[in-house]
């Protein structure tokens, strides 16, 4: 036993440190998984106790490793608590129109109109708010606005909405940690109060995006602006959906692929240029100079595209790559990935529960681990013959698409409720086109912009983007290209992530034990789903009757609210409850007063008219039922106003209610339900 343990420790030497960011992340998840806010004492005490314990057992390696893992887990919990504690509290927003005055921090071009973010604006001349507001300007508003300008606009504002279904996407949490206090729509013209003085970097992203859209109108320009500036709000919904359904959505999310292509192009150009002349080729460290130039280009691209998390992770790894080139060390490794993960989690722990962090790191972990395993096989392909280089490139492209797409698939299914099937052929066609045509011409356009000649490069770039659009729409039209996936259990996702981490970080056959949590996650994918869902404002009530989802909704319900129930059950489309008559093969019989449902042999009454109160085993209504049917379970407007969205599962012994508050609890980012929005906000 001791010999086996010694062999295992020797074989896995250097791998234990890779698990420290994992335990840090476990601590972060432990904080976000709570339903109540911990006290400062509870958040900080484990770090202090763990640190003392680690210091006491430092002389014993195995005990020290366990102690360090526990310390890092406690540190992740404390860091997440501190990030929430230092965030500004929610502002109280007016229910009616107000005049907003503030400094513009971001301008986004939409398919119709623009959207601006105001930094801590004031309402009707009162004290500035603690948080930013994001306002959509009227489509006809042509006032030139750039970051740094102080503007005034009359708008209707609202706080972030709660999840549309229990356990759904928590936009309140995202907004809380992003410093956003709400969203709104302008109902008057935007007025310029103070124009910011001219600066070199003032509005450079918006200016570049505007010049691209001028030279390439429509979807081509919107995609080009996304690739070169990270401002992707102008892409038409149909084209964005085609990229998602074909598995090419990552091309529109500027991240590792893009910065990798940019840095590789700059590295190659500098290496070739320096090697073309005798003196620098013989006397200068051309490889190191080219690596530094590529890093500088990556930094500029990072600044241009907004510096969001995926590209920050990529730039961190690119910096480590450059350091490896300068020191003649291995550049891309699991250690560099662990360092980047630790750095980003310590800086912004809330990103761990976001889809960007999870998909990005899952894909890179899978790629590096697969490269380690398949390195000998790929080396045998490099025979020096004419077919060797194309074979290596093709095999690498197929493996990259397969491994990265498969690793990120569970996270995309969990967060978006949608899974794509043909991502491998789509990426085999689209990635080379992006790497060898679209982005090189885009970089040339950026270089020509100071001379006003960007159209010379944007024209061929637009031709390449037409090819990307054709590929996206072609693959998205294949049968079963994308399917809605029923809402997954968080436990299933956690098990899948644990399995992938275990498979990726160990070196010996011990890694095969990672298959066990992956297999354990499978049964959780088929847990019984609720039968009825009531939205957070009772604007949408949906019931699943066999393979059919029927929806009762108010006229003011938004498209996102209407799409949530079918996505919740993994069904592509939903139908409205009939005004009168039967639906779902007689499982729903409706009249203007109520709908009588039969779900798995149990009766449910969906009440439409509060003046007519037919009682049943379960009453569901968009109205408030005061004292109706005493003793009968009721899901009405009053319940969702208190508890948020409600999911109901019917059982023989009675209905089981799960509310949004049961899942999210009482946390700093959970705000009380707001009054109904004015109709103008939903138009």
Contacts for 651 with CB less than 8 Å, ≥ 6 apart? none
Phi, psi of 142 (to 5 degrees): -105, 10
**Residue 446, domain member (yes or no):** yes
Instruction: Name the domain boundary from 85, 112, 137.
Output: 85
Strands 634-635 and 619-621: parallel
Pair (545, 623) in one structural domain: yes
Pair (80, 103) in one structural domain: no
Pair (447, 516) in one structural domain: no
CB 212 within 8 A of CB 224: yes
**Residue 68, domain member (yes or no):** yes
Pair (605, 645) in one structural domain: yes
Instruction: Name the domain boundary from 85, 111, 145.
Output: 85
Could you read off the pLDDT of 410-459 as tens digits, one per residue? 998 888 888 888 988 999 899 889 988 999 999 999 989 988 899 999 99
**Residue 6, domain member (yes or no):** no
CB 588 within 8 A of CB 596: yes
Pair (145, 18) in one structural domain: no
pLDDT of 660 reads 92
Low-confidence ranges of the chain (pLDDT < 50): 674-683
Pair (519, 617) in one structural domain: no
Q: How far apart are CA 154 and CA 680, in angstroms?
A: 13
Sign of CA dihedral 76, 81, 82, 88: positive
Contacts for 520 with CB less than 8 Å, ≥ 6 apart? 495
**Residue 220, domain member (yes or no):** no
**Residue 563, domain member (yes or no):** yes
**Residue 207, domain member (yes or no):** no
Residue in the block written with tokens 């013209």? 189
User: How many C-beta neighbours within 10 Å does residue 672 have?
Assistant: 10
Pair (102, 52) in one structural domain: no
Q: How far apart are CA 399 and CA 393, in angstroms?
A: 10
Q: How far apart are CA 460 and CA 473, in angstroms?
A: 20
User: How many C-beta neighbours within 10 Å does residue 377 have?
Assistant: 10
Instruction: Name the domain boundary from 22, 56, 85.
Output: 85
Task: Kindly report the CATH number assigned to the domain that includes residue 115.
Answer: 2.40.50
**Residue 288, domain member (yes or no):** yes
Q: How many domains does the chain have?
A: 5
485 in helix, strand or coil? coil
pLDDT of 55 reads 83
Closest CA to 574 of 594, 583, 600, 162: 583
Pair (509, 370) in one structural domain: no
Partners of residue 582 on adjacent β-strands: 589
Domain of residue 239, residue span: 226-484
Pair (17, 53) in one structural domain: yes
Pair (502, 538) in one structural domain: no
Pair (280, 408) in one structural domain: yes
Pair (174, 109) in one structural domain: yes
Closest CA to 593 of 616, 620, 618, 612: 612
Closest CA to 224 of 258, 184, 180: 258
**Residue 297, domain member (yes or no):** yes
Distance of CA 128 to the CA centre of its chain: 30
Residue in the block written with tokens 């009757």? 545
| pTM attached to this predicted model | 0.87
Q: How far apart are CA 18 and CA 336, in angstroms?
A: 9
Q: How far apart are CA 552 and CA 594, in angstroms?
A: 11
CB 422 within 8 A of CB 481: yes
Q: How far apart are CA 122 and CA 566, in angstroms?
A: 40
Could you read off the pLDDT of 377-422 as tens digits, one per residue? 777 766 667 667 777 777 777 888 888 888 988 998 888 888 888 9
Cα distances (angstroms) measured from residue 664 to each of 257, 482, 529: 35, 30, 19
CB 405 within 8 A of CB 424: yes
Contacts for 131 with CB less than 8 Å, ≥ 6 apart? 88, 90, 91, 120, 179, 180, 181, 182
Distance of CA 119 to the CA centre of its chain: 23
Cα distances (angstroms) measured from residue 73 to each of 275, 346, 678: 49, 12, 45
């Amino acid at each position: 036993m001791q010999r086996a343990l010694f062999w295992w420790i020797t074989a896995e030497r250097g791998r234990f440190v890779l698990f420290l960011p994992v335990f840090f992340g476990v601590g972060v998840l432990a904080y976000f998984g709570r339903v109540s806010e911990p006290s400062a004492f509870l958040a900080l005490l484990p770090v202090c106790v763990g640190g003392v314990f680690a210091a006491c057992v430092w002389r014993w390696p195995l005990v020290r490793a366990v102690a360090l893992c526990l310390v890092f887990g406690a540190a992740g919990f404390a860091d997440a608590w501190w990030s929430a504690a230092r965030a500004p509290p929610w502002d109280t927003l007016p229910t009616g129109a107000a005049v907003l005055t503030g400094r513009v921090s971001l301008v986004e071009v939409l398919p119709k109109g623009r959207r601006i973010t105001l930094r801590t604006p004031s309402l009707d001349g009162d004290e500035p708010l603690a948080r930013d507001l994001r306002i959509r300007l009227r489509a006809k508003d042509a006032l030139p606005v750039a970051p740094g300008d102080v503007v005034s606009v009359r708008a209707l504002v609202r706080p972030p909405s709660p999840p549309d279904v229990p356990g759904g996407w928590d936009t309140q949490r995202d907004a809380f940690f992003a410093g956003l206090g709400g969203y709104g729509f302008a109902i008057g013209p935007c007025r310029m109060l103070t124009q910011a003085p001219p600066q070199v970097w003032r509005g450079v992203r918006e200016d570049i995006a505007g010049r691209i859209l001028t030279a390439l109108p429509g979807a081509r320009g919107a995609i080009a602006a996304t690739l070169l500036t990270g401002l992707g709000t102008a892409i038409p919904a149909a084209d964005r959906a085609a990229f998602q359904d074909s598995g090419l959505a990552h091309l529109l999310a500027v991240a590792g692929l893009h910065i990798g292509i940019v840095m590789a192009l700059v590295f190659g150009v500098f290496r070739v240029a320096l090697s073309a002349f005798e003196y620098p080729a013989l006397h200068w460290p051309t490889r190191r100079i080219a690596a530094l130039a590529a890093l500088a280009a990556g930094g500029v691209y990072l600044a241009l595209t907004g510096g969001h998390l995926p590209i920050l992770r990529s730039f961190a790894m690119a910096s480590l790559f450059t350091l490896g080139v300068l020191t003649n060390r291995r550049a891309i490794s699991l250690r560099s990935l662990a360092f980047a993960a630790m750095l980003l989690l310590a800086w912004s722990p809330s990103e761990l529960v976001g889809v960007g962090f999870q998909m990005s790191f899952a894909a890179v972990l899978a790629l590096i681990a697969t490269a380690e395993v398949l390195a000998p096989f790929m080396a045998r392909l490099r025979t020096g013959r004419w077919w060797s280089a194309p074979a290596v490139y093709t095999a690498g492209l197929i493996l990259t698409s397969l491994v990265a797409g498969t690793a990120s698939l569970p996270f995309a299914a969990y967060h978006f409720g949608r899974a794509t099937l043909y991502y491998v052929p789509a990426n085999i066609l689209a990635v080379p086109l992006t790497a060898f045509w679209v982005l090189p011409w885009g970089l040339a356009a950026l270089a020509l912009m100071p001379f006003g000649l960007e159209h010379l490069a944007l024209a061929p770039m637009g031709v390449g983007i037409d090819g990307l659009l054709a590929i996206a729409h072609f693959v998205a039209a294949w049968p079963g290209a994308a399917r809605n996936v029923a809402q997954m259990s968080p436990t299933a996702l956690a098990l899948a992530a644990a399995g992938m981490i275990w498979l990726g970080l160990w070196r010996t056959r011990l890694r095969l034990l990672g298959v066990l949590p992956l297999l354990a996650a499978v049964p959780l994918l088929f847990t019984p789903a609720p039968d009825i869902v009531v939205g957070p404002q009772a604007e949408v009530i949906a019931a699943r009757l066999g393979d059919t989802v029927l929806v009762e909704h108010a006229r003011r319900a938004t498209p996102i609210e209407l799409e949530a129930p079918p996505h919740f059950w993994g069904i592509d489309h939903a139908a409205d409850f009939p005004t009168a008559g039967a639906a779902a093969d007689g499982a729903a019989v409706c009249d203007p007063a109520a709908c009588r449902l039969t779900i798995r042999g149990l009766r449910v009454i969906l009440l439409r008219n509060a003046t007519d109160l037919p009682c049943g085993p379960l009453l569901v209504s968009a109205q408030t039922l005061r004292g109706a049917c005493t003793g009968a379970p009721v899901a009405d407007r009053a319940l969702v106003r208190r508890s948020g969205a409600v999911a109901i599962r019917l059982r023989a012994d009675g209905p089981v209610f799960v509310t949004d508050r049961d899942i999210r609890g009482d946390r700093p980012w959970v705000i009380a339900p707001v009054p109904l929005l004015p109709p103008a906000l939903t138009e």
